[in-house]
């Protein structure tokens, strides 16, 4: 039985990497500097301090997680097809998001992508706010308990094997990995395949 679908945020529901690339290309002309910033970022999983120091050295302006979060959110646009599919899905199952990162940054992206229109902010679990990051099963179990659903009746959809699949499986959830950011059609296919299992 599928009663809840939980999602990772970055590179699952929002194209965080494209937003970061756009930030870098808008601020830096040197291809070598751009390349090094992308390498240091590692899809948002790199050493933040090293990234910020390199950025500041070459940009001549300070940056921190709050500023970066705002810059990323400014480059996100709602995907109307995805939002429509999520809205329809919300009539059938409970929806939520489990994400690593800082509360302010992740909430800015959540709102900028229009996700707040279809997923309650009460069902947004952010590692910095709950004190437990993925892949610790505790954050997944907190989500299922808050939703009032057994973990085995929850599907977690993410893009990162170690954090997403491993953590959700350890909590007893069903899991699916995506290779690209979800679209409305992609989400419909994924849910159809999951229900056909």
Enumerate the domain spans of the chain: 4-15+78-196, 16-74
Question: Is the pLDDT reported for residue 196 higher than 90?
Answer: no
Query: 51 and 58 in contact (C-beta within 8 Å)?
Result: no
- Mention every residue, 6+ apart, whose C-beta is less than 8 A from residue 135: 162, 163, 164, 166, 167, 170
Range scoring the smallest mean pLDDT among 109-113, 172-176, 193-197: 193-197
Determine the pLDDT at residue 5. Answer: 98
pLDDT band at 164 (very low <50, low <70, confident <90, very high): very high
pTM of the model: 0.94
Determine the pLDDT at residue 121. Answer: 96
Determine the pLDDT at residue 197. Answer: 81
Q: Is 101 left (phi over 0), alpha (psi -120 to 50) or beta?
A: left
pLDDT digits (tens, 9 = 90+) for 60-86: 889 999 999 999 999 999 999 999 999
pLDDT digits (tens, 9 = 90+) for 93-140: 999 999 999 999 999 999 999 999 999 999 999 999 999 999 999 999
What is the mean predicted confidence (pLDDT) over 151-172?
96
What is the mean predicted confidence (pLDDT) over 39-45?
94
CATH 3.40.190.10 fits 4-15+78-196, yes or no: no
């Amino acid at each position: 039985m599928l009663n809840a679908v939980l999602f990772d945020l970055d590179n699952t529901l929002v194209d965080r990497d494209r937003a970061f690339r756009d930030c870098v290309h808008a601020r830096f002309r040197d291809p070598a500097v751009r390349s090094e910033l992308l390498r240091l970022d590692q899809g948002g999983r790199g050493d933040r301090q090293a990234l910020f120091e390199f950025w500041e050295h070459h940009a001549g302006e300070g940056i921190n997680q709050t500023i970066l979060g705002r810059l990323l959110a400014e480059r996100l646009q709602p995907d109307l097809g995805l939002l429509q599919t999520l809205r329809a899905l919300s009539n059938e199952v409970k929806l939520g998001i489990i994400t690593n990162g800082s509360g302010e940054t992740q909430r800015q992206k959540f709102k900028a992508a229009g996700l707040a229109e279809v997923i309650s902010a009460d069902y947004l679990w952010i590692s910095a706010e709950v004190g437990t990051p993925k892949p610790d099963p505790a954050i997944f179990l907190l989500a299922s308990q808050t939703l009032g659903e057994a973990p085995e009746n929850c599907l977690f959809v993410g893009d990162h094997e170690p954090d997403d699949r491993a953590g959700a499986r350890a909590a007893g959830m069903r899991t699916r990995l995506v290779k690209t950011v979800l679209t409305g059609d992609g989400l419909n296919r994924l849910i159809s395949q999951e229900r056909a299992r």
